[in-house]
């Protein structure tokens, strides 16, 4: 277990979230994992519960996590489900690229909002 004196101040990641979405949980930070050393304390910001949004009009849930928690060898996992059906996601994407994840989040939010999913 890593010991930390004080966690650094790091802003939440800015996202373009269309009207109609609700933020249930957000701890998705502006940290690029590709630029972190394996022993960097910022890995503690990477958890399975980074971001969760809902679109109640169609009962969609968008979920983002880092797997495994705080692991430098991990990856982001983005999942879109409908009607709480975790067994058959509407969309899944995995990457260790922060930029790719932000692009995919905004892409999926817009697809759902524009009735394209």
Average pLDDT of the chain to the nearest whole number: 93
In a domain, 14, yes or no: no
Q: How many domains does the chain have?
A: 1
With a pLDDT cut of 70, the percent of the chain lying above it is 93
Residue 9 lies in a domain: no
Here the contacts of 32-38 (C-beta below 8 Å, separation 24 or greater) are 32/98, 32/99, 33/66, 33/72, 33/74, 33/96, 33/98, 34/96, 34/97, 34/98, 36/72, 37/72, 38/72
Give me the pLDDT at residue 117, please. Answer: 81
- pLDDT tens per residue across span 19-75: 999 999 999 999 999 999 999 999 999 999 999 999 988 999 999 999 999 999 999
Please report whether residue 39 resides in a domain: yes
Domain range for 51: 21-113
- Asked whether residue 62 is domain-assigned, the answer is yes
């Amino acid at each position: 277990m890593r010991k930390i004196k004080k966690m650094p101040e790091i802003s939440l990641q800015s996202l373009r979230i269309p009207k109609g979405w609700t933020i249930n949980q957000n701890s998705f930070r502006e940290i690029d994992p590709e630029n972190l050393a394996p022993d960097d304390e910022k890995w503690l910001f990477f958890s399975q519960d980074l971001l969760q949004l809902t679109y109640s009009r169609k009962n969609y849930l968008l979920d983002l996590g880092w797997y495994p928690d705080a692991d430098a060898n991990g990856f982001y996992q983005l999942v879109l489900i409908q009607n709480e059906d975790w067994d058959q996601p509407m969309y899944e994407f995995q990457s260790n690229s922060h930029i790719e994840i932000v692009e995919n989040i905004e892409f999926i939010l817009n697809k759902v909002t524009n009735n394209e999913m």
